[in-house]
């Protein structure tokens, strides 16, 4: 399959504990519980947008067809969305940026690692993407650890660069489809579509 196969129909990816899936207006009550929380934006590069403060706004307009993914992270046993994950800034169907965000209540339990590992594996096994990358504020040690657990390599540091809307020092992390860690021997084993 290719990224073009997912323009209209986004994937649903299951792991041992999680389901990564498209979000709908039915998710607004769950999103309202965590998405406006300013503390989850501490290292995000910006504060919550109007739609993040009022999640119902996310579903007012039909999403434009795109190769990018923005999926909710929920438990397999309950449908409540506890976070979200992106694959975006896709360049020539070869590389893309990733981002993960979890409610504060669900941080520190390995859900981010499980979701990112599954998404990374999905991208390399079911699309033509060869490289995934992300930027991480140097103060965000939890996200740096998560990326390293998922096999991402710290490739460098930008000093006093602009990360979204914030000037800060930040790391660049990346993983290639040919990296040994991209092969599926982490918490994402058992991933299914």
Among candidate residues 58, 70, 61, 59, the one with its CA nearest the CA of residue 6: 70
**pLDDT tens digits for range 46-74:** 999 999 999 999 999 888 899 999 999 99
d(CA 16, CA 188): 8
Asked if 86 and 69 touch (Cβ cutoff 8 Å), the reply is: yes
**Domains annotated on the chain, with CATH:** 3-177 (3.40.630.30)
pLDDT of residue 181: 83
pLDDT of 187 strictly over 50: no
- pTM greater than the 0.85 cutoff: yes
Buried b (16+ CB within 10 A) or exposed e, 150-159: bbbeeeeeee
Q: What is the mean pLDDT of the chain?
A: 93
Q: Using 50, 70 and 90 to split pLDDT, how confident is the model at 193?
A: low
């Amino acid at each position: 399959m290719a990224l073009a196969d997912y323009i209209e129909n986004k994937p649903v990816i299951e792991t041992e504990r999680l389901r990564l899936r498209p979000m709908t207006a039915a998710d607004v009550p769950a999103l309202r519980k965590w998405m406006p929380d300013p503390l989850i934006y501490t290292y995000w590069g910006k504060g919550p947008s109007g739609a993040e403060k009022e999640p119902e706004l996310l579903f007012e307009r039909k999403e434009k067809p795109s190769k990018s993914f923005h999926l909710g992270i929920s438990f397999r046993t309950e449908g409540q969305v506890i976070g979200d994950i992106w694959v975006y800034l896709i360049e020539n169907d070869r590389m893309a940026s990733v981002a993960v965000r979890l409610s504060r209540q669900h941080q520190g339990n390995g859900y981010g690692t499980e979701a990112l590992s599954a998404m990374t594996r999905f991208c390399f096994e079911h699309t033509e993407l060869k490289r995934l990358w992300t930027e991480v504020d140097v103060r965000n040690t939890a996200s740096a650890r998560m990326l390293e657990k998922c096999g991402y390599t710290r490739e460098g540091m930008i000093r006093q660069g602009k990360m979204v809307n914030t000037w800060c020092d930040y790391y660049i992390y990346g993983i290639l489809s040919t990296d040994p860690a991209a092969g599926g021997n982490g918490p994402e084993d058992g991933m299914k579509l």
